[in-house]
Structure 1
Amino acid sequence: MPSLQSVISCLSDYDPSALPVEQANRIIAEVIEPVSGIEQVAIRSALDRVLAEDVVSPIDVPAHDNSAMDGYAFSSAALQAANGGEVTLRVIGTALAGETHGLTPAAGEAVRIMTGAVMPVGCDTVIPQEFTQAVPGAGSESGGEAAGEAVRFAADAVRAGDNRRLRGEDLARGKPALNQGRVLQPADLGLLASLGIAEVKVRRRLRVAFFSTGDELRSIGEPLDAGCVYDSNRYTLHGMLRRLHVELIDMGVVRDDPAALEAALRSACENADAVITSGGVSVGEADYTRQIMAELGDVTFWKIAMRPGRPMAFGRIASNGHQALLFGLPGNPVAVMVTFYHFVRAALHRMMGADIAPPPLMRVRSAHAIRKKPGRTEYQRGILARGADGQWEVRITGQQGSGVLRSMSEANCFIVLGHEQGGVAAGDPVEVMLFEGLL
């Protein structure tokens, strides 16, 4: 794996005191490689796992040409013969799904066919049942249900080849069915089952350790002394990480003590692939985290040109032959969430080997003016809703301070104000990133 310092040394415009969001993400992506461990699991246990190799279809799906409708199968030559008028066909039998029939209609004949049934030899078109009429006076003959009946329909009610599903139309034998890096969804499990595949190879689950730092933090259930606050960051981190389906190692609150911090970082490094801390990465008299992190590995400390979430540490730490990627996040609750979603989430997906596209941005109008200076990216918390005219518009949730966690709880999107963007007037278009699918 490339070292962090080697990646940084190649950047001519690198400034750790004012690092743009895009550049920080580029550096992180160059340093990270997926975990190498692979497991073979039953498809019932494969939901939300990351495929470690392409799944190649062992069969054609469907295995035969078949009908996409309940109706009557016939040769499209009858349409040409009708020359835009009506087609009348004698029915010689019925084809049911899952059964062999051996029916071969001749010119002027058809087979009554059910959805999924194999197309009879010589037939290339199916007229839906509701578009046909029974021919009065047609008598019943031997040959099974519907044999001897006749049906009539307008020649322009169907085109040649309609309502026929071709062999291998969904998947051809030997072609990739699912690609490496895909996070398996419910439909994928059904697809695998339809191919007769019982087990798949997936990346092993990523192990992530996390803890909060600070003497002022108290866990739920402890009394709050003067100047103390309850530790909320571990709970938001727990929730965000659970959505990624990683293995969690919650290490609690670590006090501002050099020995305790080093012990926590070493333990986390030796038991996890990634370590996430909150607090202690800004400059402060009691913030020993920066010092310990730097001593344990290849770590850099950034002031990201963003709001909220300016201070951040990133790198790789080592202990007793083990290595782990380190993400040192700010201590303010909203800043923790913003930096997680805009840096850590994509990084962990990359470590998992998951091929995940960045969350899409939606362009809508702003309900009011928003103050903003060029030179940093801002993530305002917003509420997206339909305006009085039915068009989408977004408004901020009120106070946008990095300690106002309620602003995240009330919001349903980020208002993303780009690095070079200035202030926004009421009615101006802005880009929003929906929480749905992200949180």
Structure 2
Amino acid sequence: MRNVPQTPLSVDAYRARVAALVPPTPVVELPLADCLGLVLARDVVSPVALPPFDNSAMDGYAVRAEDVAGAGPDTPVTLPVPEDIPAGRTDVVPLAPGTAHRIMTGAPVPPGADSVVKVEDTDGGEQRVVVSAAVAAGTHIRRAGEDVAGGATVLTAGSVLGPARIGLAAAVGRAELPVHRPARVLVLSTGTELVAPGNPLRHGQIYESNGTLLAAATRELGAVPTLLRFVPDDVAAFHDAVAAHAADADLLVTSGGVSAGAYEVVKDALAGQGVEFLRVAIQPGGPQGCGRFGALPVVTLPGNPVSTALSFELFVRPALLAAMGHREAGRPRAVARTTEELRSPAGKRQYRRGHLDGDTVRPVGGPGSHLLASFAASDCLIEVPEGVTVVPAGEQVDVVLLH
């Protein structure tokens, strides 16, 4: 007899069970180009100041403020220009009193200069320059350490690495960063009725979509999916497919084959092998399973498309994010008023697809677990609690934001 508890688990209890199943990924050093979206594992301390030297904030001329103190449109000051200082020059010559050095943005300010006159306030001369505006000392100079002091912590452990943070790491001289390694997820889609998109269908066949959906959802998190499709409804074939990839996976996620009927290959292959099959008090997506197949953590999702997508969203997504070091693994939530009456089965937490518009939410499609088009057209999930069977139109509901 199959292991089906008499009382379904709550959504929260099952989410916790799946979260406990997926261990943290190891910390690895990766090149900056491979760190986007990953979580920093250790603080980053800058060995240099930013800027590392006083530099010009403008294209113009490095001067002493006292040498151009009387400059104006009607009283221009002319100075000789003995040096050019492009960005990147390292042998900067000190500025002599009564002279100007032509300087570019980002170039080091020469010793002796205390300000920069922007080129728009000059005639742009190369040998001599006519200055038509006075400047105060310090004008248009970026001071060393003004942004970051040497020895300062610039990135903290737990930070999600977006473009700006990766750019900052590069600016302080880091070529690699210690990050939580992306989780490696083996996605297995079973069913002899499945056909690859692009091929003709025969009567009784359907295009395989669950594996594609799960692989995309996995990749969106920054994890690395391996998609196995078209595994036939055969226990030996299932075991062979898993065994061939188990050593390189942190988690196996399957879709389909977990209900109470015949030809449930996932159940037949994993029941009694460390994976428990149960029911969760949720609609859609009641049949679920999780555990270990040998050393490999396994989460088995129901096969109807919306049940698959919703189950990944509620159970697998937060577990993978937490395993990869994310402190915030849940979606943002909101409260809105439903535009239509909602009906939900007693004792189950229902998730309806919806479209949020300001402080109102419109249900999209019905509650059926096969209505994938309505899921694709939604930007949120409407959550109806277990103890509620009717939500009148205009009533406030909790909303889980998907985009």
Instruction: Rate the CA distance shift 1:150–1:380 in 2: closer, same or farther, 3 A.
Output: same
- Show the counterpart of 1:311: 287
Residues 125-147 of structure 1: per-residue CA shift (max 9 Å, x gap): 989898x899xxxxx9xx9755x
Determine whether 1:17 maps to 2:8. yes
How far off its partner does 1:169 sit? Answer: 3.7
Q: Among 414, 417, 429, which residue is 2:383 paired with?
A: 417
- Show the counterpart of 1:361: 332
Within 5 Å, which residues of 2 pair with 1:22-41? 23-36=13-26, 38=28, 40-41=29-30
SS at match of 1:282: coil
Distance 2:241 2:201 in 1: 24
SS at match of 2:154: strand
Instruction: Rate the CA distance shift 1:245–1:222 in 2: closer, same or farther, 3 A.
Output: farther
Instruction: Rate the CA distance shift 1:49–1:368 in 2: closer, same or farther, 3 A.
Output: closer
Determine whether 1:382 maps to 2:354. yes
How far off its partner does 1:337 sit? Answer: 0.8
SS at match of 2:133: strand
How far off its partner does 1:210 sit? Answer: 1.9
SS at match of 1:193: helix
Determine whether 1:197 maps to 2:174. yes
Within 5 Å, which residues of 2 pair with 1:196-215? 196-215=173-192
Q: TM-score, normalised by structure 2?
A: 0.73
Within 5 Å, which residues of 2 pair with 1:40-51? 40-48=29-37, 51=40
- Show the counterpart of 2:72: none
Within 5 Å, which residues of 2 pair with 1:29-428? 29-36=19-26, 38=28, 40-48=29-37, 51=40, 53-66=42-55, 68=57, 98=88, 100=92, 102-103=94-95, 115-118=105-108, 146=129, 149=131, 151=133, 165-180=142-157, 182=159, 184-220=161-197, 221=199, 223-226=201-204, 228-290=205-267, 292-297=269-274, 299-318=275-294, 323-351=295-323, 353-355=324-326, 357-358=328-329, 360-361=331-332, 363=334, 365-366=336-337, 368-373=339-344, 376-385=348-357, 391=358, 393-411=360-378, 413-417=379-383, 419=385, 422=388, 423=391, 425-426=393-394, 428=396
Residues 235-284 of structure 1: per-residue CA shift (max 9 Å, x gap): 21232233345443332233444434444444443442211111122323
SS at match of 1:295: coil
Do 1:16 and 1:301's aligned partners in 2 also have CA atoms closer than 8 Å?
Answer: no
Do 1:48 and 1:245's aligned partners in 2 also have CA atoms closer than 8 Å?
Answer: yes
Do 2:334 and 2:401's aligned partners in 1 also have CA atoms closer than 8 Å?
Answer: no
Do 1:218 and 1:224's aligned partners in 2 also have CA atoms closer than 8 Å?
Answer: no
Do 1:383 and 1:397's aligned partners in 2 also have CA atoms closer than 8 Å?
Answer: yes
Distance 1:303 1:169 in 2: 59
Which has the larger displacement, 121-130 or 299-308?
A: 121-130
Paired residues, what number?
Answer: 384
Amino acid paired to 2:11: P
Distance 2:23 2:148 in 1: 31
Instruction: Rate the CA distance shift 1:45–1:257 in 2: closer, same or farther, 3 A.
Output: closer
Distance 1:167 1:377 in 2: 58
Do 2:22 and 2:250's aligned partners in 1 also have CA atoms closer than 8 Å?
Answer: no
Instruction: Rate the CA distance shift 1:403–1:118 in 2: closer, same or farther, 3 A.
Output: same
Residues 207-244 of structure 1: per-residue CA shift (max 9 Å, x gap): 32222234544444364344x43332122123223334
Residues 58-109 of structure 1: per-residue CA shift (max 9 Å, x gap): 2111113445556899999xxxxxxxxxxx9989789875554645989xx9
How far off its partner does 1:341 sit? Answer: 1.8
Amino acid paired to 2:257: G
> Unpaired runs of 5+ in structure 2?
66-74
> Unpaired runs of 5+ in structure 1?
1-13, 77-87, 135-139, 386-390
Q: RMSD across aligned C-alpha pairs, in angstroms?
A: 4.5
Residues 143-198 of structure 1: per-residue CA shift (max 9 Å, x gap): 9755x746358x9xxxx988764433433333343444555444444333322333
Amino acid paired to 2:380: F
Amino acid paired to 1:151: A
